[in-house]
Amino acid sequence: MPAVLQCPGYPEAKLRCLAESLQCREVQASTLLALMGEPQQYSYPSVFIYGHRATGKSHVVLALLTELELPHAAMSCVECFSRGLLFEQVLMALFGPEAAALLPRCASFSDFVRVYRQMCAQEPADQTRYIVLERAELLRNMEANLLPGLLRLQELVDDNVTVILLSEIVWDKFRPSTGCFEPLLLHFPDYTKAELQQILSRHSHPSYTPELYSSYINILLGVFYSVCRDLRELRHLAALNFTKFCEPLEKGEAQESDTHKLWRRVEPHLKRAMQTVYLREVSSVQWEQQQMDEKEATALRGLSAHAHVELPYYSKFLLIAAYLASYNPARTDRRFFLKHHGKIKKTNFLKKHEKTSNHLLGPKPFPLDRLLAIFYSVVDSRVAPTASIFSQISSLVTLQLLTHIGHDDQLDTPKYKCAVSLDFIFAISRTVNFDIVRYLYDFL
């Protein structure tokens, strides 16, 4: 039974209804309600709400404002990317289009304040007006006076108005060096596993029992919780894989009580789905299509998922060089990459005690100069690269195919690690006709 939200001045039935949709966020919702106070009371001038993605920040704030029918303007700073748009949208939502029309072209913050005052002299607030700005960190890129101005808007326009800023970034990164009015801070912590279970289980499938759905969610979280805690992603995954989970039930091969059997059937699917969380290499439709073509070439799927990663020609060689640098011991470079290395005895070269495959140990970090040495050796016969190698390296890092190791301040000796799988590098090598197996120490 969810705790009941309480605050005088709001209809009780609505608060009860809200508590229903704000599960696991009762504490934050009641704090916010307490800050807001009764509708006609002045509330604190600005509130700063922060927390990771999908922790329910927007959900809670907007649910409160819409369900309690409070006058508000809610917008994202992504859409209102200029102050002009922002002012226009706020005035439009609070006072209607005629207010927005009063703004001059390229309105400054003081124009906004002037129009706001003019409008609220005509329509004084009988209850608190709220301005909700999502992705508030983007405000920092607009005029320097915008953020401090919004934080004390209540005082500037002399109206019962509260500005609520939502962000994933902590307040310390916002505070201008010149100081400003400090908003009240409200943190939304991450959902725990049990809370995710509770929230996700709420929307069960109409043709199955809530218990079945709940055990499905339990399985799902068991697989994904360690890699993904984003409620939105998890919800998407839950919807995507539920039919697969129910397949044995549909075919009459299992009972609802056979959770173990159902688990065994769905687990490999979930594991495969895990490869595409966050990267979202395929759309949901493509994913379902792939699941349909199940029988065909299972081994190739890993590759086909990557097949559309289209890299520039030399980037492919850079990646190959990075792979070789990560998986070959540095002392073997001479043998592989020096043209006239003379006779290096195979027995010297292969150390007997090195039983463990480097592939089992995972990629090792390597310095930039080693990468470049190997790179120039493997592109050798092909045309000499003209494009900037360094920018291609940083693109590979951005694409997360390479990992940059070490601290930002160590500019002189950057180290990297190759982050792609063997299958992936095979596929890449094939596209440039490079026989990588001949250069890998483990395959000798």
Ligand X SMILES: Nc1ncnc2c1ncn2[C@@H]1O[C@H](COP(=O)(O)OP(=O)(O)O)[C@@H](O)[C@H]1O
Should residue 74 be labelled a site residue for ligand X when binding is judged by CB under 6 A? no
Q: How far is CA 74 from CA 77, 80, 128, 394, in A?
A: 10, 11, 14, 38
Should residue 56 be labelled a site residue for ligand X when binding is judged by CB under 6 A? yes
Compute CA 104 distance to the chain's CA centroid, rounded to the nearest angstrom.
Answer: 38
Should residue 127 be labelled a site residue for Mg ion when binding is judged by CB under 5 A? no
Helix or strand holding residue 15 (H, E): helix 12-21
The pair of structure tokens assigned to 109 is: 């913050």
Q: DSSP assignment of 193-243, as one string?
A: HHHHHHHHHTS--TTS-HHHHHHHHHHHHHHHTTT---HHHHHHHHHHHHH
Should residue 201 be labelled a site residue for ligand X when binding is judged by CB under 6 A? no
Question: Taking Cα atoms as reference points, which of 224, 215, 222, 260 lies closest to residue 242?
Answer: 215
Q: Of 43-51, 56-64, 361-369, 374-382, which segment contacts Mg ion by CB under 5 A? A: 56-64
Should residue 203 be labelled a site residue for ligand X when binding is judged by CB under 6 A? no
Helix or strand holding residue 404 (H, E): strand 402-405
Should residue 25 be labelled a site residue for ligand X when binding is judged by CB under 6 A? yes
Do 5 and 54 meet the contact criterion of CB atoms below 8 Å apart? no
Q: Which is nearer to Mg ion, 168 or 288 (CB)?
A: 168
Candidates 232, 271, 280, 341; binder of ligand X (CB under 6 A) is 232
Residue spans of beta strands (DSSP E) within 305-398: 366-367
Q: Which is nearer to ligand X, 59 or 415 (CB)?
A: 59
411: Cβ contacts below 8 Å, ≥ 6 apart: none
Q: Which is nearer to Mg ion, 58 or 197 (CB)?
A: 58
C-alpha torsion angle, residues 431, 432, 438, 440 (rounded to 10): -80
Should residue 55 be labelled a site residue for ligand X when binding is judged by CB under 6 A? yes
Should residue 31 be labelled a site residue for Mg ion when binding is judged by CB under 5 A? no
- Work out what residue 54 binds among Mg ion, ligand X, none; the CB cut-off runs from 5 to 8 Å by kind: ligand X
- Work out what residue 59 binds among Mg ion, ligand X, none; the CB cut-off runs from 5 to 8 Å by kind: ligand X
Instruction: Print the binding letters for residues 401-420 with Mg ion: x by CB under 5 A, - otherwise.
Output: --------------------
Should residue 259 be labelled a site residue for Mg ion when binding is judged by CB under 5 A? no
Should residue 76 be labelled a site residue for Mg ion when binding is judged by CB under 5 A? no
Closest residue to Mg ion, based on beta-carbon distance: 58
The least CB distance from residue 309 to ligand X, in Å, is 28
Should residue 58 be labelled a site residue for ligand X when binding is judged by CB under 6 A? yes
Should residue 197 be labelled a site residue for ligand X when binding is judged by CB under 6 A? no
The least CB distance from residue 135 to Mg ion, in Å, is 8
- Work out what residue 199 binds among ligand X, Mg ion, none; the CB cut-off runs from 5 to 8 Å by kind: ligand X
Should residue 149 be labelled a site residue for ligand X when binding is judged by CB under 6 A? no
Rounded CA Rg of the chain: 29
Do 439 and 348 meet the contact criterion of CB atoms below 8 Å apart? no
Candidates 58, 76, 145, 198; binder of Mg ion (CB under 5 A) is 58
The pair of structure tokens assigned to 137 is: 């960190």
Q: Which is nearer to ligand X, 23 or 421 (CB)?
A: 23
Residue 301 carries which side chain, given as an amino acid letter? R
Closest residue to ligand X, based on beta-carbon distance: 56
Candidates 199, 262, 305, 322; binder of ligand X (CB under 6 A) is 199
Should residue 24 be labelled a site residue for ligand X when binding is judged by CB under 6 A? yes
Q: Of 48-56, 66-74, 329-337, 344-352, which segment contacts ligand X by CB under 6 A? A: 48-56
The least CB distance from residue 22 to ligand X, in Å, is 6
Residues binding ligand X: number (CB under 6 A): 15
Look-up: residue for tokens 């005082």? Answer: 155
The least CB distance from residue 59 to ligand X, in Å, is 3
- Work out what residue 23 binds among ligand X, Mg ion, none; the CB cut-off runs from 5 to 8 Å by kind: ligand X
Helix or strand holding residue 270 (H, E): helix 259-274
In degrees, to the nearest 5, what angle opens at C-alpha 84 toward C-alphas 80 and 87? 80
The phi, psi pair for 313, rounded to 5°, reads -50, -50
Burial of 40 (0-12, 13-18, 19+ CB in 10 A): exposed
**Binding residues vs Mg ion (CB under 5 A):** 58
**Binding residues vs ligand X (CB under 6 A):** 22-25, 51, 53-59, 199, 231-232
